[in-house]
Amino acid sequence: MTLRTILVVDDDPDIRELIAQTLSDEGYAVVACGDGRTALSLTSSNPPSLILLDLMMPTMSGWQIIKNLKAASRSAIIPVVLVSASRDLNYTTEELGASAYLPKPFDLDDLINIVMKHVGKPEYREPLNHKEL
């Protein structure tokens, strides 16, 4: 993945598309997937600059994904922003090694600001297409 590639992991296709399209419109390279196994595979083969991770997903929860990410040396340093409707995650977020927490529903400006805080401004100002995996 390129320098400022954002990996969006959310099982809800509407939210996944909203996040991916918003960040693409801002000029970030975005790869999106809907399950933990794909996310771990993508991160292992080509680490992104940032991961936006939904917590409540079937099969493999966001908690399981982040534990796997932090256990692997190559992905342990990637900042992870937890995205969830749960409001009581600040302590657990830090304890798990996540960089931040974005509560659902979220304002798109908050999404953009949290991404910029972690990876800086995008390299390109033209909207980029995103990949859906």
Average pLDDT of 12-30? 95
**Edge-to-edge strands of the sheet including 5-9?**
100-103, 80-84, 50-54, 5-9, 29-33, 131-132
Distance, CA of 118 to CA of 132 (rounded, Å): 22
Q: Which domains does the chain have, with CATH numbers?
A: 5-123 (3.40.50.2300)
Distance, CA of 128 to CA of 131 (rounded, Å): 10
Closest C-alpha among 32, 87, 95, 98 to residue 65: 98
Q: List, for residues 48-82, the tens digit of each pLDDT value.
A: 999 999 988 988 999 899 999 999 988 999 999 99
Long-range pairs of 88-91 with CB within 8 A, sequence gap ≥ 24: 89/55
